Amino acid sequence: MTIAEVPNANLLDVDGVSVIFPGRGGDTTVRAVQDVSLNVRQGENLGLVGESGCGKSSLARAIMQLPPPTSGRVRFNGTELTGLRGRELRQQRRRIQMVFQDPIASLNPRRRIGRIVSEPLRSTDVSDDVVDNALTAVGLEPGTVRKKYASELSGGQCQRVSIARALVSEPDLLICDEAVSALDVSIQAQILNLLEELRQSRGISLLFISHDLAVVRNVSDRVAVMYLGKVCELAPADEIFMRPRHPYTRLLLDSIPGRRAVGAVRPVAAVSPAAAQVVPTPETVGCPFRARCPRAEPICAESEPPLIDIGSGHMAACHFVTKPDTRESRAADQN
Amino acid sequence: MRGAVARHGIVRTLSFVWIALVILAAIFASLLPIPKPDALDPFRRLLLPGSAGHLLGTDDLGRDILSRLIYGARVSLIVGAASFVCGLIAGGAIGIVAGYAKGKVERVLMWAMDVILSFPALVLLIGLVAYVGRSLFDISAVLGFLAIPIYARIARAQTLSFTERDFVLAARASGSRPRDILLYELLPNVWPPMVAYGLVAVGLTIVVEGSLSFLGLSVSAPTPSWGGMIAGGENYLRNDPGLVLIPSAVMCLTVLAFNIAGEALGAKTSKVGRA
Amino acid sequence: MTGTPVAATSRPDGTASADPLLVVESLTTTFGIDGSEFRAVDGVSFELQRGATLGIVGESGSGKSVLTRSILGLLRRQRAQVTGSARFEGRDLISAPEKELRGIRGAGIGIIFQDPMTALNPVMKVGKQVAEVLTVHKGMNRAEANRRAVELLDEVHIPSARTRAGQYPHELSGGMRQRVAIAAAIACRPRLLIADEATTALDVTIQAEILDLLDELRRDLHMSMLLISHDLGVVMGRCDHVAVMYAGRIVELGRTTDVLVHPMMPYTRGLLDAIPKVDDPAHTRLAVIPGQISPAHVRAPGCSFESRCALADDQCRAAAPELQPAGAERSYACWHPAGADGGTVPVDERIESTLGQAR
Query: Is the Cβ pair A260, C357 closer than 8 Å?
Result: yes
Whether the Cβ atoms of residue A268 and residue A292 lie closer than 8 Å to each other: yes
**Sheet architecture: strand order including C192-196:** C109-112, C192-196, C224-229, C53-57, C241-246, C249-255, C331-332, C324-325
Q: For residue C255, give every residue at least 6 positions away whose Cβ sits within 8 Å of its Cβ, in sequence order, or none.
A: C240, C241, C242, C329, C330
Separation between Cα atoms, residue B255 and residue B261, nearest integer Å: 10
> What is the arithmetic mean of pLDDT over A228-253?
89
**Residue C306: pLDDT band by 50, 70, 90 thresholds?**
confident
Considering chain C, what is the average pLDDT of its residues?
82
SS3 assignment, position A112? strand
pLDDT for A322: 65
Are C33 and C297 contacting, i.e. CB atoms less than 8 angstroms apart?
Answer: yes
- CA atoms of B201 and B87, how far apart (whole Å): 10
Compare CB distances from B173 to A98, A109, A110 and report the shortest one's residue: A98
The answer to whether the CB of A189 falls within 8 A of the CB of C274 is yes
Distance linking the first and last C-alpha atoms of chain A: 45
Scored b (16 or more CB within 10 A) or e, A300-323 reads: beeebbebeebeeebbbbbbbbee
Check pLDDT > 70 for residue C95: yes
B-chain CB neighbours of A120 within 8 Å are 174-176
Measure CA of the first residue to CA of the last residue in chain C; give whole Å. Answer: 35
CB contact set of B179 (below 8 Å; sequence gap of 6+): none
Of A95, A119, A99, A114, the closest CA to residue A202 belongs to A95
CA distances from A58 to A18, A67, A229, A298, C327 (A): 9, 9, 9, 31, 53
Q: Which residue of B has its CA nearest to A155?
A: B275
Candidates A273, A292, A272, A269; CA nearest to C156 is A273
C163 at interface of A, judged by CB pairs closer than 8 A: no
| Main-chain dihedrals φ then ψ at residue A188, nearest 5 degrees | -55, -45
* Residue A238: burial class (beta carbons within 10 Å; 0-12, 13-18, 19+): middle
- pLDDT confidence tier of residue C170, bands split at 50, 70 and 90: confident
Question: In degrees, to the nearest 5, what angle opens at C-alpha A11 toward C-alphas A6 and A17?
Answer: 115
Closest CA to A73 of A17, A10, A34, A11: A17
CA–CA distances in Å: residue C312 to residues A239, B234, C263, C308: 42, 81, 17, 8
Q: Please name the residue of chain A whose CA is at the shortest distance from the CA of residue C235.
A: A258
Tell me the shortest Cα–Cα distance from B186 to chain A, in angstroms. 9
Residue A2 pLDDT class (50, 70, 90 cuts):
very low
User: Tens digits of per-residue pLDDT, B77-110?
Assistant: 998 999 999 999 999 999 999 999 888 999 999 9
Residue A176's pLDDT band (cuts 50, 70, 90): very high
Mark which residues 247-286 of C lie under 8 Å from A by CB: 270-271, 274-286
CA distance A150 to chain B (A): 7
Determine, for residues B174 and A169 on separate chains, whether the beta-carbon distance falls below 8 Å: yes
Distance separating alpha carbons of residues A45 and A315, to the nearest angstrom: 17
B vs A contact (3+ beta-carbon pairs below 8 A): yes
Quote the DSSP letter at residue B176: -
**DSSP tag of B54:** B
Query: Chain C residue closest to A215 (CA)?
Result: C276
What kind and span of H or E run contains B172?
helix B166-173
User: What residues have CB less than 8 Å from A19, skipping those under 6 apart?
Assistant: A31, A32, A33, A55, A58, A59, A61, A62, A69, A70
Give CA–CA dist B19/B202, Å, rounded. 12
C12 part of contact set with chain A, CB < 8 Å = no
Q: Contact A1/A60 with Cβ under 8 angstroms?
A: no
pLDDT at C144 over 50: yes
Contact (CB<8Å) A217/C237: no
Nearest to A51 by CA among A185, A305, A304, A248: A248
Give the per-residue pLDDT at A276.
Answer: 42
Could you tell me which chain B residue has the CA closest to the CA of A61? B173
Q: What is the pLDDT of residue B252?
A: 93
Question: Looking at the predicted structure, is the pLDDT value of residue C189 above 70?
Answer: yes
Under 8 Å between Cβ of A198 and A167: yes
In chain C, alpha helices (H): 64-71, 98-104, 116-119, 126-138, 142-155, 161-165, 174-186, 204-221, 232-236, 256-261, 266-274, 314-318, 349-358
Q: Cβ A185–C274 below 8 Å, yes or no?
A: yes
Q: pLDDT tens digits for C61-83?
A: 888 989 999 998 888 877 788 88
Whether A261 shows a pLDDT value over 70: the answer reads no
C-alpha radius of gyration, chain B, whole number:
22
Task: Specify the pLDDT at position B3.
Answer: 52
Average pLDDT over residues A87-99: 85
In this predicted structure, the answer to whether residue A289 has a pLDDT above a threshold of 80 is yes
Asked if C174 lies within 8 A of A52 by C-beta distance, the reply is yes
Residue A108 confidence class, pLDDT cut points 50, 70, 90: very high
Measured distance between the N- and C-terminal CA atoms of chain B, rounded to whole angstroms: 27
Mean per-residue pLDDT for C21-43?
85
What integer is the mean pLDDT of A65-69? 87
Cβ <8 Å between B275 and A97: no
Q: Note the pLDDT tens digit of each residue in C321-343.
A: 888 888 778 888 888 877 544 33
d(CA A28, CA C47): 52
Helix, coil or strand: residue B28: coil
By DSSP bridging, strand C80-88 and strand C109-112 are unpaired
Q: What are phi and psi of A184, to 5 degrees?
A: -65, 155
In this prediction, residue C116 has a pLDDT band, given cuts at 50, 70 and 90, of confident
Could you count the other beta carbons within 10 Å of the beta carbon of residue B229?
25
In chain B, the percentage of residues whose pLDDT exceeds 70 is: 95
pLDDT band at A277 (very low <50, low <70, confident <90, very high): very low
Collect all residues of chain A within an 8 Å Cβ-Cβ radius of residue B268: none
Q: How far apart are CA C104 and CA B140, in angstroms?
A: 63
Amino acid at position C321, single letter: P
Concatenating the DSSP letter of every residue in C319-346 gives SPPPPEE-STT-EE--SS-TTTTSS---
Instruction: Give the mean model confidence (pLDDT) for residues C161-165.
Output: 89
Radius of gyration of chain A (CA): 21
Distance set, CA A111 to CA A115, A152, B97 (Å)? 7, 12, 20
Residue C243 scores a pLDDT above 70? yes
Q: What is the mean pLDDT of each run of 10 residues along chain B (275 residues)?
A: 59 91 89 81 78 79 86 89 92 93 90 89 76 79 88 93 87 83 89 90 88 80 83 85 89 92 83 49
* Structural contact between residues B51 and B240, judged by C-beta atoms closer than 8 angstroms: no
**CB–CB of C160 and A256 under 8 A?**
no
